[in-house]
């Protein structure tokens, strides 16, 4: 059994943290709420080789596994950094089946892609050169992309209108890419949960009331440990999802959606508890806590949301229960 990170994976994670630390993405998340543009992290993603992370080496990518991409997404979530990867990585997975001609440009990051999964707001569609849909592939000039902001401005989001354009037919494994997307979102939310845990711990050590640090009070301490417990469950299920994507395809739906479900609940609980631990100041515009809370509020509704992830988990486990009736 080896259920821990390899040295290469630790390096990938640390390099991602380092690369993302050069821009103050947290401040940018706040400024974006009042209309400032988000910092462009695409050059960072290109330099780091993330754009071709899930593309085979033959097609110009790094040929890594979804779990490796999850490690990068976790670091993005931690810093509320949006590098356009959620949509792009899924698109490259779908286009990989046929080694599509645009894959080279996508792997190198010369061009960007995103997936339109449903009628709701879609992550990473603004700025994408290619839009992958179940109907087929559209070039960005065939469609109208309307950028929108919903609660959390740190995540580029948009509606896509097709208006009768004809897509190029595609043969891709959408279901697989959908489940991997759930796992990527889970990893991102794990990063959010880790970040609010750190904020909460630091403040509970530093802030004093009645002559003691507030972290010494059980009422505060136990709430923070509950964030840790949620984070631990999420991390374990992210490992499970990464493992399933790599080695147990039959378990991917269960694993990825369980990870997503746990991750959204963790980020929601963690971000609201972080505000509470900070007292009134945690609910101010200047404080970072609400930026994570916004991320968690929106994330849990996107791409099927926590509801559909839960439904998928239920469906998978009920099928197993029915199959194992004696």
Partner 1 sequence: MNLDDTPNQAEFRARAREWLEAHRDESPPPARGLHVEDPAPYRSWQGKLAKAGLVGVMWPAEYGGGGLGPSEEMIAAQEISRAGCAQIVDHIAIGELGPTIIACGTPEQKQRHVGPMLYGDEGWCQLFSEPAAGSDLAGITSRARETDSGWVLNGQKVWTTLAQFADFGLLLARTDPDLPKHKGLTMFIVPMDAPGVTVRPLRLMSGSAPFSEIFFDDVELAPDSVVGGVDAGWSVSITTLMYERLMALSAFEFMAPAPEALLQPLVGTEALNDGHVRRQIAELTVERLGLRYTAYRALSDLEGGRMPGPEAGLGKIGVVEAGRKAAALIAEALGPDALQGEYGELAAEMPGMRSAGGTEEILRNTVGERVLGLPREPRVDKDVPFSELAHA
Asked whether position 204 contacts partner 1 by CB under 8 A, the answer is yes
Asked whether position 210 contacts partner 1 by CB under 8 A, the answer is no
Asked whether position 11 contacts partner 1 by CB under 8 A, the answer is no
Task: Say if CB 291 and CB 80 are below 8 A apart.
Answer: yes
Stretch that binds partner 1, among 54-62, 86-94, 133-141, 231-239 (CB under 8 A): 231-239
CB-based contacts of 288-293 (< 8 A; 24+ apart in sequence): 288/26, 288/30, 288/199, 289/196, 289/199, 291/26, 291/29, 291/30, 291/80, 291/152, 291/154, 292/80, 292/192, 292/195, 292/196, 292/199, 292/267
The interface mask with partner 1, positions 96-125, x = CB under 8 A, is ------------------------------
Asked whether position 243 contacts partner 1 by CB under 8 A, the answer is yes
Nearest to 287 by CA among 202, 185, 186: 202
**Nearer to partner 1 by C-beta: 94 or 241?**
241
Task: Say if CB 203 and CB 278 are below 8 A apart.
Answer: yes
Asked whether position 205 contacts partner 1 by CB under 8 A, the answer is yes
Asked whether position 207 contacts partner 1 by CB under 8 A, the answer is no
Stretch that binds partner 1, among 47-55, 69-77, 128-136, 237-245 (CB under 8 A): 237-245
Distances (CA, A) of 29 to 34, 42, 153, 289: 10, 16, 6, 11
Nearest to 275 by CA among 203, 194, 188, 216: 203
**Nearer to partner 1 by C-beta: 115 or 252?**
252
Asked whether position 262 contacts partner 1 by CB under 8 A, the answer is yes
For residue 321, give both structure tokens.
Answer: 């229960």
The Cα 208–Cα 193 span in angstroms is 24
Q: Could you say which DSSP state residue 156 is in?
A: E
Task: Say if CB 301 and CB 158 are below 8 A apart.
Answer: no
Nearest to 255 by CA among 276, 239, 272: 239
Stretch that binds partner 1, among 39-47, 131-139, 156-164, 306-314 (CB under 8 A): 306-314
Asked whether position 7 contacts partner 1 by CB under 8 A, the answer is no
Stretch that binds partner 1, among 29-37, 76-84, 138-146, 243-251 (CB under 8 A): 243-251
CB of 158 to partner 1, least distance (A): 29
Binds partner 1 by CB under 8 A, chosen from 212, 249, 276, 281: 212
Binds partner 1 by CB under 8 A, chosen from 30, 79, 235, 290: 235
Query: How many amino acids of this chain bind partner 1 (CB under 8 A)?
Result: 54
Asked whether position 221 contacts partner 1 by CB under 8 A, the answer is yes
Asked whether position 47 contacts partner 1 by CB under 8 A, the answer is no
- Stretch 62-101 residues interacting with partner 1 (CB under 8 A): 67
CB of 289 to partner 1, least distance (A): 18
Burial class (CB in 10 A: 0-12, 13-18, 19+), 212: exposed
Asked whether position 213 contacts partner 1 by CB under 8 A, the answer is yes
For residue 274, give both structure tokens.
Answer: 């972080």
The Cα 163–Cα 183 span in angstroms is 32
Nearest to 186 by CA among 123, 238, 247, 114: 238
For residue 204, give both structure tokens.
Answer: 């509970």
Q: Contact positions toward partner 1, by CB under 8 A?
A: 1-4, 67, 197, 201, 204-205, 212-213, 215-218, 221-222, 224-226, 228-229, 232-237, 239-240, 242-243, 246-247, 254-255, 258, 261-262, 265, 307, 309-311, 313-315, 317-318, 320-322, 324-325
């Amino acid at each position: 059994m080896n259920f821990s990170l390899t040295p290469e994976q630790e390096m990938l994670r640390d390099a991602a943290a380092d690369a993302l630390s050069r821009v103050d993405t947290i401040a940018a998340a706040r400024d974006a709420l009042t209309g400032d543009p988000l910092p462009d992290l695409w050059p960072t993603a290109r330099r780091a080789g993330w754009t071709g992370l899930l593309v085979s080496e033959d097609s110009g990518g790094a040929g890594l596994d979804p779990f490796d991409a999850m490690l990068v997404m976790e670091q993005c979530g931690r810093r509320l950094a949006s590098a356009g990867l959620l949509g792009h990585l899924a698109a490259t997975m779908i286009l990989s089946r046929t080694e599509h001609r645009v894959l080279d440009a996508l792997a190198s990051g010369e061009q960007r892609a995103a997936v339109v999964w449903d009628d709701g707001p879609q992550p990473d569609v603004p700025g994408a050169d290619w839009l992958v849909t179940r109907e087929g592939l559209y070039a960005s000039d065939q469609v109208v992309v309307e950028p929108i902001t919903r609660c959390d401005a740190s995540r580029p989001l948009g509606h896509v209108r097709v208006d009768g354009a004809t897509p190029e037919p595609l043969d891709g494994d959408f279901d697989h890419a959908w489940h991997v997307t759930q796992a990527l979102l889970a990893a991102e939310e794990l990063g959010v949960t880790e970040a609010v845990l750190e904020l909460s711990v630091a403040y509970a050590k530093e802030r004093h009331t009645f002559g003691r640090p507030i972290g010494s009070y059980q009422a505060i301490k136990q709430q923070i440990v509950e964030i840790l417990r949620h984070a631990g469950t999420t991390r374990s299920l992210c490992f499970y999802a990464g493992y399933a994507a790599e080695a147990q395809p039959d378990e991917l739906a269960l694993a990825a959606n369980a990870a997503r479900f746990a991750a959204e609940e963790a980020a929601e609980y963690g971000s609201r508890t972080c505000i509470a631990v900070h007292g009134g100041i945690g609910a101010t515009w200047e404080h970072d806590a609400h930026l994570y809370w916004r991320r968690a509020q929106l994330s849990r509704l996107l791409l099927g949301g926590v509801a559909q992830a839960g439904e998928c988990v239920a469906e998978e486990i009920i099928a197993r229960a029915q199959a194992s009736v004696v």
